[in-house]
Structure 1
Amino acid sequence: MAEKQYIVFKLNDEKFATNIHHIASITDYASITSLPNGPAYVDGLLNLRGDIIPVVNLKKRFKMTDTAARDKRILIARKEDVLIGFLVDDASQSMAVDEQDILPPPKIAIKKDNAYISEVCIHENELIIVIDFDKILTDDEISEILEIN
């Protein structure tokens, strides 16, 4: 049976996942330089081995309460030739899920402002929402962030 590979991450105490192919790397939370007049969901810029990467706070982007987390991580995603960091509370494991345990998101749950939910999977009796990192930001939002950079 075919499997899909995911990176599991947490926002507050909720588990989410994304396709492993969307993630270029995972790094520990490091010094982020704030962006004056940047979008509210962008925490700032990260210098990662000479690459200057905008960092999107996923809790702010998803309009979630921002509780303090001990082990913040940054998922570095590549959209075409652009690197974008996504701040999460934790990202320390991958998981393989059989295709039979992957379901489309419920239509009632999908709206225009959360079209980034690509599927739902069942893993170890847990329901985990899968986020498509290519759809978190619109092309216009990416352009706006890159113009500030």
Structure 2
Amino acid sequence: MADKQYIVFKLNGEKFAANINQIASITEFASITSLPNAPAYVEGLLNLRGDIIPVINLKKRFKMAYEGIDNQRILIARKGDIQIGFLVDDASQSMTVGEKNILPPPMIAIRKDNKYISEVAVYQDELIIVVDLERVLTDDEIDEIMDL
């Protein structure tokens, strides 16, 4: 197994990462249109170069406290034919982690509602939770959002 590359992002000052292959692009926070009757974690819709993309607030999805941030970013990911944006506080660096520094997620951390934790990376003496962006939302939740 070779080294893996990740994009590092922050939520309330905590570092997380996502596999670089899951991210189509990173864009600055732009005008998001609210979506009536959407689940609380859906921030709204983003018009990105003519594509209308639902934006998920990862802090709300992960049930984290809200701390205002000025320079938010949106990670654009694909799940099949669907593009989904993930609102994060910052996403400005990439990291390459060797195979020996990639650990399975601790069993205590895996529950039904957070199966999106795919692994833990040890990078510069920090433990960074790696999020599988394809598993943040279930297929049923994606269908619900697309039907709104």
| Shorter-chain TM-score tier | over 0.9
State the percentage of identical aligned residues.
Answer: 72
- Partner of 1:68: helix, strand, or coil? coil
Separation of aligned partners in 2, 1:109 and 1:26? 28
Deviation at 1:108, TM superposition (A): 1.1
Deviation at 1:27, TM superposition (A): 0.2
Separation of aligned partners in 1, 2:127 and 2:2? 19
**Structure 1 moving runs of 4+ over 6 Å:** none
Kindly provide the amino acid, as one letter, of the partner of residue 6 in structure 2.
Y
Provide the residue aligned with 1:4 in structure 2: 4
Separation of aligned partners in 2, 1:18 and 1:135? 11
Provide the residue aligned with 2:103 in structure 1: 103
- Partner of 1:142: helix, strand, or coil? helix
Q: TM-score, normalised by structure 2?
A: 0.98
Unaligned 5+ residue runs, structure 2?
Answer: none
Unaligned 5+ residue runs, structure 1?
Answer: none
Separation of aligned partners in 1, 2:140 and 2:2? 36
What's the Cα RMSD here?
0.8
Q: TM-score, normalised by structure 1?
A: 0.98
Kindly provide the amino acid, as one letter, of the partner of residue 99 in structure 1.
E
- Partner of 1:43: helix, strand, or coil? strand
Provide the residue aligned with 2:68 in structure 1: 68
Separation of aligned partners in 1, 2:110 and 2:36? 32
Deviation at 1:125, TM superposition (A): 0.4
Provide the residue aligned with 2:85 in structure 1: 85
Provide the residue aligned with 1:116 in structure 2: 116
